[in-house]
Amino acid sequence: MNVTPLAERMRPQVLDDLVGQEHLTGKGSILRTAIEHGKIPSMILWGPPGTGKTTIANIIAYTLNVPFFTLSAISAGVKEVREVIQQALKVAGTIMFIDEIHRFNKGQQDALLGAVEKGTVTLIGATTENPSFEVNSALLSRCQVYVLKPLSEEALIKLLHVAIEKDEWLKTKSIELKETEALLTISGGDARKLLNLLELVTEALEENKIIIITDDKVMSIAQQRIALYDKAGEQHYDIISAFIKSMRGSDPNGAIY
């Protein structure tokens, strides 16, 4: 099996392959139009985990064919920001992608201001938190804020089928998606978690000639595998909660009968 996680292997490089976020990237949408014209504004992508923030940033860089620097606000500081700005002074159109930009303090955000205002870099920040509260007003005023929506059940199921049909490893298997409720519930609408869970389940069942994915099998495999790495026990209880939800469906009292 490929050591690169499935979610990374399936990361689209063009807008037409992106599932979900049609309000931003569909035909005639504001962001797609900007990309097609080859000039995008600095922006903040705000949305839940696994909804495509990093993917959209990568698609923009790939489509425009410009230098692309990625920083994580968890590990990067003012020094790293200034180093990218120095590089950007040499090449026009440079994009700086900052993941979890809400974790940058005021000083770190202020270090971006001049470069963003002058157009030295195009900033793409990703955040799961409301940027109105977490990004300082001076920087926010220089950026467009695009809100990413949670992926619909239809979009998530489409992702599963696309992965099974197109991934180089998965398409060598005979996989039947008999039930999807557990996959969707455990992943919590996070496309990254969903795809990596699909891979985990397939790996556990790959000795079978035909891999039939059911809710019970997903719950059992997730419980066993995740527990090995879950020292604090939080995911263990998340899975138990997901199991109860999958049993009762939409009926809040269904599990007690």
Average pLDDT, stretch 29-52? Answer: 94
The domain over range 21-147 is classified in CATH as 3.40.50.2300: no
d(CA 213, CA 225): 16
pLDDT for residue 110 is more than 70: yes
Average pLDDT, stretch 25-36? Answer: 92
1 by Cβ neighbours in 10 Å (0-12 / 13-18 / 19+) ranks as exposed
Q: What is the pLDDT of residues 125-140, one digit of tens each?
A: 999 999 999 999 999 9
- Split at pLDDT 50, 70, 90, the class of 227 is low
d(CA 35, CA 60): 7
Q: What is the pLDDT of residues 6-21, one digit of tens each?
A: 999 999 999 999 998 9
- Split at pLDDT 50, 70, 90, the class of 253 is very low
CA dihedral sign of residues 99, 100, 103, 105 = positive
